[in-house]
Amino acid sequence: MHTVTCIAPVNIALIKYWGKRNEELILPINDSISMTLNANEMCAKTTISSWETFKANRMWLNGEEVTFEENARLMRCLDGVRRLAVANGALKVPLNWKVHIASRNNFPTAAGLASSAAGYACLVYTLARLYGIPINEELTAVARQGSGSACRSLYGGFVRWHSGVLDDGSDSVAKQVVSPDHWPNMHILILVVNDARKKTPSTKGMQRAVTTSALIQHRAKVVVPRRTEELTEAIQLRDFNSFAEITMKDSNQFHAIALDTYPPCVYMNDVSHSIVNFVHAYNEAVGSLQAAYTFDAGPNACLYVLEENVPQLLAAIQLAFPNDLVPSVEYLRGIQVPNFGSQN
Ligand code: DP6
């Protein structure tokens, strides 16, 4: 029996992926950029065994068995990695042996905390290790077919998913913009407002947005191309001011598209909106942009902040939201993060 265990971290998008041009191959309508967390923080951990006596491909997610062979996304990942293994001539494990997969997240699943990104990235990477193939752009194209945002979690640091133009999706791949040591004092605080499962899953929400939002094509064709270039430059120059402004504007535009969807997708709640107001008031009070919020498809806030500004920001959060704090904490990039009380 061959067994491999790997971990893969969550990534948090700065320029959001929202909308597909091909549902089956998971090809996006715009590029996106994210930062990957450190590997030992919010992550998925996956163990895969392969043996000649296994009768079927099976998978357990957080301890519960899930359907595997009927799940097109899982099968596309397995087939994609096996195809790359054949092309690489790297067949450490016979391809006709079935696999058993056990995966766990160390954070809430499907609460708008990028669980599918870490989960599919980890699945594809662990399969790649099992069959003996390296991480490269082709592998990101396989992870993309599990969940779009997963392709960005195969690399550390800041990562750009290029939407690509080809119909077969072979140029829709993730590339590293800069490695984690380029901007080591960049931190993310995650304020857990609510860790329940989200109401409209991303796949459904973006499908509905593409067919009903009058604004989404403008975003994809006009706004995002300019923003990805500007953000890439801000990251390269370590220009936090521009980085923060672009990040907050893109989060706001993504949620505006969600509201422009019919029926609308409401991901942020009252606590989320008070965090937005708090960050703007805080930045004004300190006289420069020192914190930037971004929200995925859920109410939880991710705040980007430089290490030297963390203590002051955390103190202000605790003053502004004294009643929302509960004793549990999350650790991200070495930072204690208050856990906001549940509210919907
Ligand atoms: C709001 O990657 O979960 O987090 O490709 O349908 O699986 P599918 O969607 P998914 O969508 C993530 C959306 C987002 C923004 C982002 O991560 O870029």
pLDDT tens digits for range 141-192: 999 999 999 999 999 999 999 999 999 999 999 999 999 999 999 999 888 8
What average pLDDT does the chain have?
90
pLDDT at 340 over 50: no
* Interior angle at CA 142, CA 141 and CA 144, nearest 5: 65
- Does this complex have an ipTM over 0.85? yes
pLDDT at 57 over 80: yes
Atom of ligand 1 nearest to the CA of 296: 1
Burial 247-265 (b: 16+ CB within 10 A, else e): bbebbebbbebbebbeebb
Cis amide linkage into residue 263, ω under 30° from 0:
yes
| Burial of 235 per CB tally in 10 Å (0-12, 13-18, 19+) | buried
Span from the CA of 162 to the centroid of ligand 1 (angstroms): 14
Sequence-distant (≥ 6) Cβ neighbours of residue 15 within 8 angstroms? 30, 31, 32, 33, 34, 224, 227, 228, 231, 246, 250
pTM, full prediction:
0.93
Q: Which of 169, 158, 162 is nearest to 24 (CA)?
A: 169
At 196, is the pLDDT very low, low, confident or very high (cuts 50, 70, 90)? low
Which residues are bridge partners to 98 per DSSP? Answer: 51
pLDDT at 335 over 90: no
pLDDT of residue 341: 39
pLDDT at 325 over 50: no
pLDDT of residue 92: 80
What digits encode the pLDDT tens for the residues 92-124? 899 999 999 999 988 765 455 666 899 999 999
Average pLDDT over residues 281-310: 95
pLDDT at 330 over 60: no
Ligand 1 cavity residues, CB under 6 Å: 13, 16-18, 26, 32, 114, 116-117, 147-149, 202-203, 296-297
Q: How far is CA 69 from the centre of its chain?
A: 25
What digits encode the pLDDT tens for the residues 225-253? 999 999 999 999 999 999 999 999 999 99
Out of 20, 200, 202, 257, give the residue to mutate to test ligand 1, the one with the largest number of ligand atoms within 8 Å of its CB: 202
Atom of ligand 1 nearest to the CA of 201: 3
Please report where in the chains the tokens 């800069």 appear, as a residue.
178
Average pLDDT over residues 314-332: 63
